């Protein structure tokens, strides 16, 4: 089990914003529904606004599953993984 952090510090914020890609995942409440996981990667589309707040610019994709799931249940995971250096995974 990894560490659970109370907040995003400056060092973690710098690492997250330096990654070339991150993933956004949502799922409906219906157990028969499908999980939606989308890679995101345009520079400057993710920002740390504070120790407990982040934002990303969601460009239109192939559908509207992400916003539909969020409106239904408000659940989302944003995941970062290291593409170079030491292995690291951060989930928000």
Predicted confidence at residue 65, as pLDDT, reads: 87
Q: How far is CA 25 from CA 9, 46, 70, 86, in A?
A: 23, 15, 10, 24
Q: With residue 25 as reference, give the H or E element that holds it.
A: strand 22-26
Q: For the segment 36-51, what is each residue's pLDDT rounded down to a tens digit?
A: 999 998 888 999 999 9
Beta-bridged to residue 50, according to DSSP, are: 53
64 pLDDT exceeds 80? yes
**What pLDDT does residue 40 have?**
92
Q: Is the pLDDT of residue 1 over 70?
A: no
Domain ranges of the chain: 10-91
pLDDT, position 44: 87
pLDDT above 70 (res 60) = no
Instruction: Calculate the average pLDDT of the chain.
Output: 92
């Amino acid at each position: 089990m990894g560490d659970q952090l109370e907040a995003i510090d400056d060092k973690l914020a710098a690492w997250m914003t330096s990654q070339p890609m991150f993933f956004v995942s949502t799922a409906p409440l219906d157990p028969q529904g499908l999980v939606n996981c989308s890679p995101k990667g345009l520079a400057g589309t993710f920002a740390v606004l504070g120790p407990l707040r982040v934002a990303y610019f969601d460009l239109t994709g192939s559908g509207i599953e992400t916003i539909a799931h969020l409106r239904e249940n408000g659940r989302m995971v944003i995941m970062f993984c290291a593409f170079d250096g030491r292995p690291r995974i951060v989930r928000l």
